[in-house]
Amino acid sequence: METSDGQRYLDFTDGIAVCSTGHSHPRIAEAIREQAGRVIHAQVNCYQHDLLVPLADRLAERTPDSIEQFFFSNSGAEAVEAAVKLAKPSPFSTTP
């Protein structure tokens, strides 16, 4: 980051504690422009984003073999809610 008077510094500011991108980083701004030209908001359960499969493939390369599936969500709250639902036995399950 550079100030208007030319001083340079590292920018470690987060956006609401979840978006550690700094302020107007050129690569981040370009990625946002590119994505906005494709689709701005679409739920994963309604729209198959063409980058999810390559992302899952990259995650699979970097995680233990015992992780067989990935669940994509739009927020930490949604991820926690899904984890609780997936960990809790179904009331319709025949196994304990």
Task: Give pLDDT, residue 60.
Answer: 94
Spans in the chain with pLDDT lower than 70: 1, 10-20, 22, 45, 93-96
Region for residue 22 given its phi and psi (left: phi exceeds 0; alpha: psi -120 to 50; beta: otherwise): left
Percent of the chain scored above 70 by pLDDT?
80
Backbone phi, psi, residue 93, to 5°: -70, 145
Does the predicted model carry a pTM greater than 0.75? no
Instruction: Tell me which residue of 53, 31, 50, 34 sits closest to 42, measured CA to CA.
Output: 50
